[in-house]
Amino acid sequence: MLMRVLLADDEPFILQGLSMIIDWEKEGYEIVKKASDGQEALDYLKENEVDLIITDIRMPQINGLELLEKVRTEKLSDAYVIILSGYNDFKYAQAAIRYSCMDYILKPVQKEQLLENIRRVTKKRENMMQEEIDSRRMQRGYLMQNMMALLQGKGKEQNVSYVKENFRCSEGVRYIHICLNDLSALEEMSDEEVSELKEKVFEQVSHYLREDADHLFKDFFVYEEDYEIGFVYCDYMAKEKNLTEEAFMEALHKTAQSGSEDLPVILLVGKRVEDIGRISRSYSSACVLRSFKGFQDTKSIYYYEKEVQVNPSKTVLCKQSLDDLVAAVDQNDTLMINKSVDHLFTEMDRLDRTRETVTMNLNWLIFRLINLAAEQDESVNQDEVLSYISGSVSKEEIIRGSRAHMRKFACEYAEYLVQLRKNVSKGILAEIENEIKEHYAENLTLRELGQKYYINSSYLGQIFRKRYGQSFKNYLNYYRIKEAASQLIRTDKKIGQIAEDVGYHDLDYFISRFIEQEGCTPSRYRKSVREN
C-alpha cells in the first residue's frame, strides 16, 4: 500500500513543483492532499490519516511550526514531518525538532535532498513496522510458553496470571484438537504440503472466530505427527453467537472442513473444566480421545464425556478368552494367537457381538496389552502405545466378524513386544542421531527411519524420548533452530534463505519456532549477538 503524503505551501508553483520533482508512486507514495495554507492542512488532518507531511514555515492563518505544534499536542497524527523554509535560522530548526520534525530543508528544494529524506522516511517506516511485527511475535511466543506450561500441568501461579491477563477467558473452558484425520494420506504428503493444508484450515477457523482467533495454536507438539491445530474454547464464544455449545462445535467443524477439501477433519473435544487454570485436565482428556476414537463410531466431533464411557451392566466380559489371547501375544505364539482369537469371536458371537460387548472387551484387551508393554520397559509412554494400538485395530472390522483383522494385529503386537525386550536402543539411537546431523533439513520421519533400521516406529519414538527427554520431532526442530542460529551469526544470508536451508518452508512458522526456542526473533538474535 502506498504511503500518503500531505503537501502544504501557500505558493502554488511550489506545490506544483513538489508534486512533479520526483516520481512519488515509484518511491511508494501518493499525494493525497495539497493544502494552500496551514489551516486547510489542519482541517484535513482532523478527518484523514497521512504518513508524511511536507510543509512550508511561512503560510497565512497558521504557519508550518504552528501546524506541527497542533498536530502533535492535539495528537492528530504521528506522521513524519519535513519542514521547508527559506530562512536559515537556528531558532526555526530548534522549534521544529521540539515537535518531532524529521528534517528541516532550506529552499529551493533540491531533488536529491528530498529523495534522500523520503527514503529515510520509508526506511524508518519499514523498521517500525518490523519492530511491531517482532513485538507481536514475541508476545505471542511468550503467551504460548505460558499456555504450554498450563496444558502440560506444569503451570505455576505466574503462568496462570499471565495467561488470564493476556488471553480472553471465561468460566467453562475446553481444549479441542482440530485434526486432519487421514493418516495414510498425510504420510504420503511432504512437510510443506501438510503445513499448507493446516494453514488453510487455520485461516478458515480464524475467520470464523474473528477476534478470538488468538485462541488457536498451530505449534503444540505432543505426538510425533503434527496433523492438528489446538483450540481453547470458552463458554462465552457460543453465547456471543447465540448458539448452544453443540451448535457452535458443529459450525466450527464445518468451517474447518471447508479448509480441507480432500481430507476429513475431526474435532476432539476435551472435558469441560471450570477455568483456564485447570486446562491441563481438558487437554489430557482430548489426548485420550485422540487414541480412543479408533474404537468408537466414526463421526466428525468426539466429546470426551460421551465417548470414554461404557455401561458394564449391558455387556459381558469374555475374560478367559482374553486372558488366553494376551498370554499368546506375550509368548509370540502365532498358533495360540489364532486359536485364542477364534475362541474370543466364538464367545462374542454367542453374545450377539453387540457394539457394547465389542467395546468392553476391546478396552479390557487394550488395558492388558499396555500393561504387557510396561512390564518390558517401565519408561514406555502409555499414550503412545495406545495410539499405536488404536491405529492398528478397527472396531468396525471386529463387529463385522473380521477374525483376520484381529489375528494380524495380535501377531504384529507380539513382534512389537519382542522388540521391546531387545536391547536395541544403544546402536540404533546413535544411527538416528547421525541421520539428524546429516539430513536435518530433509523430511525425516520416525516411520521412515523405523523402516530403514527395521524397528517399530512407535518403540523407536519411546526409546528416543527416554534417551533425549523429548520427542523425535521436537529434537529435530531443536537441532534445526540451533543450526539456523549458527548461520545467523556466521553468514549474511537472508532469514528466509536460512529457514529454507534448515528445512522450514514456511517463514512465519520458522520465526515462531525460533522465538519459542531462543526467546527472540531471528533478526533480533543476529543483531544482539553481533553487537555483543
What's the pLDDT tens digit per position in 47-67? 999 999 999 888 888 888 889
Residue pair 432/464 in contact by the 8 Å Cβ criterion: yes
Task: State how many domains the chain has.
Answer: 4
Together in a domain, 319 and 303: no
Same-domain pairing of 392 and 461: no
The domain boundary, picked from 255, 275, 307, lies at 307
DSSP state of 273: B
pLDDT band at 232, cuts 50/70/90? very high
Domain identity same for 390 and 512: no
- 438 with 388, same domain: the answer is no
User: Percent of the chain having pLDDT more than 90?
Assistant: 32
Give the model's confidence band at 85: pLDDT under 50 very low, under 70 low, under 90 confident, else very high: confident
For residue 238, the number of C-alpha atoms closer than 13 Å in the C-beta half-sphere is 18
Question: Are residues 295 and 174 located together in one domain of the fold?
Answer: yes
Relative orientation angle of helices 457-468 and 472-490, to the nearest 10 degrees:
60
3-state secondary structure of 277: helix
Judged against a pLDDT cut of 80, whether residue 380 lies above it is answered with no
Whole-number Å distance between alpha carbons of 513 and 148: 13
The answer to whether residue 344 is domain-embedded is yes
Do residues 284 and 318 share a domain?
no
Same domain, 446 and 522: yes
Amino acid at 128: M
Whichever domain contains 189, its CATH number is 3.30.70.270
**pLDDT for 258:** 93
pLDDT tens for 485-509 read: 999 999 999 999 999 999 998 888 8
Residue 117 within any structural domain of the chain: no
> Are 180 and 268 contained in the same domain?
yes
| Residues 6 or more apart in contact with residue 105 via CB below 8 angstroms | 82, 83, 84, 85, 113, 114, 117
Residues 102 and 33 in one domain: yes
Q: Cβ contacts of residue 311 below 8 Å, gap of 6+?
A: 356
**Averaged confidence pLDDT in the chain:** 83
CATH number at residue 39: 3.40.50.2300
Q: Is the pLDDT of residue 86 over 90?
A: no
The upper half-sphere exposure of residue 82, i.e. CA atoms within 13 Å in the direction of its Cβ, equals 21
d(CA 58, CA 87): 9
Which of 448, 531, 425, 428 has its CA nearest to residue 190?
A: 448
Is 407 inside any structural domain? yes
Binned at pLDDT 50, 70 and 90, residue 418 comes out as confident
Q: Are 403 and 341 in contact (CB under 8 A)?
A: yes
Establish if 437 belongs to a structural domain.
Answer: yes
- Range among 222-226, 255-259, 450-454 rated most confident: 255-259
Among all chains, which residue has been given the C-alpha cell 522465538? 515
N residues, the chain = 532
Asked if residue 82 belongs to a domain, the reply is yes
Rounded CA gap, 48 and 52, in Å?
Answer: 12
Residues 13 and 88 in one domain: yes
Residue 158 belongs to some domain of the structure = no
129 belongs to a structural domain: no
* Bigger pLDDT: 112 vs 141: 112
CATH code, domain with 447? 1.10.10.60
Query: What does the H/E/C string look like for 401-460?
Result: CCHHHHHHHHHHHHHHHHHHHCCCHHHHHHHHHHHHHHHCCCCCCHHHHHHHCCCCHHHH
| Angle, in degrees to the nearest 10, between helices 382-390 and 279-292 | 40
Could you give the CA distance from residue 242 to residue 266 in angstroms, rounded to a whole number? 23
**For residue 522, what are the contacts with CB-CB under 8 A and spacing of at least 6?**
484, 488, 495, 498, 510, 511, 514
Residue ending a domain, choose from 307, 331, 366: 307
| Residue 149, in any domain of the structure | no
Cβ-contact 428, 455 below 8 angstroms: yes
Together in a domain, 399 and 519: no
What pLDDT does residue 60 have? Answer: 87
Which of 274, 307, 340 is at the close of a domain? 307
Sorting pLDDT into bands at 50, 70 and 90, what band is 223?
very low
Same domain, 197 and 298: yes
Strand partners, 212: none
Question: What DSSP string describes 338-384?
Answer: HHHHHHHHHHHHHTTT-HHHHHHHHHHHHHHHHHHHHHH-TT--HHH
- The reported pLDDT for the residue numbered 373 is 77
Residue 410 belongs to what domain range? 312-421
